[in-house]
Structure 1
């Protein structure tokens, strides 16, 4: 059998605080085993969990790996607004007039992630092009 991704691990300054942000983003929760001040915190998600580990170094360069989010029950633009309200910041806006593109945001510790169009938005674009 092949390997499966169990966790995506993210280095950070405050594991519990960053895990709490991502739990809200993903409509999930921080593991009951974790609490403020812990050196690591886990957010369980379908597929792979997000594991946050406290490290002494601050983020200094662009991420080599990042998450791409696809909204399930709202549009890309609605999701971007929701995430900004949760504490994300806008990094780069690649939305195009035809509805394609994505938005790159940063989490509270500066890690980049992208918000893509929802499945419904993709289908609508493909139908309009057919």
Structure 2
């Protein structure tokens, strides 16, 4: 027996804005699901794991204990960093020249940390 990952879920103050940001990052479609008592935004393809964004009243206050690692697919790490910043991400810690290093810690518009790895 085993379990499969269905979603990675983010609590947000603005689920729609977060879904739109991550949809642009991943180029996956964002869809609203008006589930009674639990409306949410889903970012993902029709099948496979997805990112889910749920509006909650409280803001993020501490560092994430889990985060996403992104790998550039259509360009360099520097080019992807520029694109992500244009979408609203901000650099938290640039580890490209640190030991250990080669990645950049960023935050999405609500402050959720994620890493941009060095491409292939």
TM-score (norm: length of structure 2): 0.87
Residues 1-130 of structure 1 mapped to structure 2, 5 A cutoff: 1-31=1-31, 33=33, 39-45=39-45, 47-96=48-97, 101-119=102-120
Could you tell me how far 1:96 is from its partner in structure 2?
A: 1.8
Could you tell me how far 1:47 is from its partner in structure 2?
A: 3.8
Secondary structure of 2:20's counterpart equals: helix
**Matched residues in 2 for 1:85 and 1:112: separation?**
16
- Alignment gaps of 5+ in structure 2: none
- Alignment gaps of 5+ in structure 1: 120-130
TM-score (norm: length of structure 1): 0.81
Could you tell me how far 1:39 is from its partner in structure 2?
A: 4.0
Could you tell me how far 1:105 is from its partner in structure 2?
A: 0.6
Contact 1:93 1:104 in 2 (8 A): yes
**Count of aligned positions:** 114
Please give the root-mean-square deviation of Cα atoms over the aligned residues, in Å: 1.9
Contact 1:41 1:51 in 2 (8 A): yes
Instruction: Looking at secondary structure, tell me which structure has more helix per residue.
Output: 1
Instruction: Looking at secondary structure, tell me which structure has more strand per residue.
Output: 2
